Amino acid sequence: MNYLSTRGHADRKRFCEILLEGLAPDGGLYLPETYPQVDTATLAKWRTLPYAELAFEILSLYIDDIPAADLKAICAKTYTAEVFGTDEIVPLRELEDGVYLEALSNGPTLAFKDMAMQLLGNLFEYELARRGAELNILGATSGDTGSAAEYAMRGKKGVRVFMTSPDGRMSPFQQAQMFSLQDANIHNIAITGVFDDCQDIVKAVSNDLAFKRKYRIGTVNSINWARLLAQVVYYFAGYFQATASNDKPVSFTVPSGNFGNVCAGHVARMMGLPIQTLVVATNENDVLDEFFRTGVYRVRAAVDTHETSSPSMDISKASNFERFVFDLVGRDAARLRQLFVDDLGLTGSFDLSADPAFRQAAERFGFRSGRSTHADRLAMIRDTEKRFATLIDPHTADGLKAAREQLTPGVPMVVLETALPIKFAATVVEALGEEPARPKKFEGIEALPKRVVQLPADAEAVKAYIAQHCD
C-alpha cells in the first residue's frame, strides 16, 4: 500500500515512512492511494473476531512494511481487557429502541483518543527500535490529547514527550491525570498563556528546521494517519455489535472537532462497511455543521471560537477535513489546492454550494450534521440519566442531540461516546446536581505529587528546556 498527499506531491510513501511524520512535504495530508475493499465474505469472517484480531486484519490492509507476526503482536499487546476494561474493548449499549452508545472511553485517560494513541505508542516504540532512532514528541494540549499521548508513551524506549498546556486552564482532573505521571520520559510544561500560545510555540519550534533535526522533534497530532487508521477498527466493531448480519445498514453519530474521528468512519464506509449515514455533531463551534448545511467552509478567527462546555470540540478549523474534501472533489489535487491553499489562504473560506460535488457529500458519502448549545447538552445529560439511568459527558451529549434529529426507522443509530462524564464533572454537576462516579484507579489523584515546570510563552525557553533534557 502506498500513500499520497492530498495536494498532489509526486512522492509515494509506505506506512512506516509516514508513521513518524506530520504533514506531507507540500503541506497536504497523507491518504492511501486506494481504499481496500471488504466484501461480505470478509465481513462474515471478521464478525466473530476478538477486537485485537479485527484490528490486525484491518491494519494489515494498509501496512505492508511490518511483518505480519510483529503487527499481530502489537495489536494483541495494545487492545487488552486490562487496558480498556472489557473483553469487547468497545462495548455497545442500547439506550432505547435502535439508539446505541458505543463506549470508546474506557482506556487509561477516559477519552476515545486512547483507542488510537495506545496503538501509536506501541508502533512508535517498535519502529524506533528497528531504526535505532529516538524521537522527541512536542505537543500542545488543552486536555484530552496531551494526557492520551503521555499515557501511551510513558516508559516507552526511544521516546520522550514534551507536552505544553496553558497554565491553570485545564480541569483539575485533567491536570492531575497528566501532572501526576512520574515517568522520566514525560515532561509537562505549563505555559503562562492560553492554548493558542502553546500551539504557536509548537509551530515555532517545528519551523526551526535545524533545531527540529538536531533534536529529532516529532508530533502526535490528529492528522497522523496511523491514529486515523486505528479509529477505523471501532466502526467495524460497532457495526458487528449493532447487527445480526452483514446486509443491514447502520448509522453513526460522531461528536466532532478536528474531523479525525468521523473521517475514520468515512474510510470504513469507503471500504464497504454498510454505513448509511455519518452524522457530524458539533457544538457552538459549528464550522463543520455550516459546511454540511450550506457548502460553505468558513474558518473561524480566534475571537469567534467559543469556549464551550464540550471543550475538546472547540476548534476554529477542522484539521482532517481536507482528507474528506479530497475524496469529495474526486481526488483532484489541483482543485483541492485551489480550495485549501488559494481560497482559504486569501479569504479564510471556500464555497462549494454551487458545485455539483457538494450534493455528493450527502447523497454519495452519507454525511449529515447537527449542532448543539450548552442548554442542549444539559437537557440531554438530564434526559439520558432520567430515562435510561445512564450518565453521559457533554461531548457525547452533543452527539446524542444530533443523532436524535437524524433517526431512520429500522436503521440502528450508534452514537460514539467520546469521554466519560468524570472528565467533565463540572457540567455534569450543573445538569444533575451530583458528581459522576469516578473509576477506582483515579480516586484521590488530585492529591498526588505533581511533576510539571512553568515556562513563559516563549519558544526559545521551550527549546532550551528540550535541549537540556535530551541527553
Ligand X SMILES: *Cc1c(COP(=O)(O)O)cnc(C)c1O
Which residues contact ligand X (rule: CB under 6 A)? 111, 113, 144, 222, 255-261, 312-313, 395, 418-419
> Shortest gap between Cβ of 265 and ligand X (angstroms)?
10
Asked if residue 236 lies in contact with residue 273, where contact means CB atoms within 8 angstroms, the answer is yes
Q: What are phi and psi of 132, to 5 degrees?
A: 60, 40
Residue 319 Cβ vs ligand X, minimum distance, rounded to whole Å: 8
- Give min distance, CB of 89 to ligand X, in A: 18
Residue least distant from ligand X (Cβ): 260
3-state secondary structure of 423: helix
Euclidean distance between CA atoms 11 and 3, whole angstroms: 8
Could you give the CA distance from residue 1 to residue 15 in angstroms, rounded to a whole number? 8
By C-alpha distance, which of 220, 319, 315, 227 is closest to 267? Answer: 227
Contact 254, 262 (CB under 8 A): yes
**Active site members:** 113
* Exposed / middle / buried, residue 299 (Cβ in 10 Å: 0-12, 13-18, 19+): middle
Return the C-alpha cell found at 231.
Answer: 479509529
DSSP 25: T
Name the minimum Å distance from CB 399 to ligand X: 8
175 phi, psi to nearest 5 deg:
-60, -45
430 burial via Cβ count (<10 Å: 0-12, 13-18, 19+): middle
In the complex, least distance from residue 55 CB atom to ligand X, rounded to whole angstroms: 18
**Rounded to an integer, what distance in angstroms lies between the CA atom of residue 277 and that of residue 133?**
43
Nearest distance from residue 40's CB to ligand X, in Å?
Answer: 29
* Minimum CB distance to ligand X smaller for 141 or for 164: 141
Q: Of 111 and 455, which has the nearer Cβ to ligand X?
A: 111
Q: Quick one: cell of 430?
A: 450543573
Nearer to ligand X, 59 or 313 (CB): 313
Q: At a CB cut-off of 8 Å and minimum separation 6, what does 360 contact?
A: 328
Q: Which amino acid is at 58?
A: I
Distance CA 143, CA 112 (A): 13
CB nearer ligand X, residue 164 or residue 222: 222
Q: Phi/psi of residue 91, each to 5°?
A: -60, 145
Shorter beta-carbon distance to ligand X: residue 185 or 261: 261
Q: Closest approach of Cβ 423 to ligand X, in Å?
A: 7
Residue 429 or residue 453: which is nearer to ligand X going by CB? 429
229 in Cβ contact with 34 (< 8 Å): no
Alpha helices (runs of H) in 79-141, residue ranges in sequence order: 81-84, 113-131
Number of helices and strands (H, E) in the chain?
21, 15
Question: Please, which residue, 368 or 395, has the CB nearer to ligand X?
Answer: 395
Q: Which is nearer to ligand X, 270 or 461 (CB)?
A: 270
Positive or negative, the Cα torsion across 151, 157, 71, 15? positive
CA 97 to chain CA mean position, Å: 28
Q: How far is the CB of 41 from ligand X (least distance, A)?
A: 31
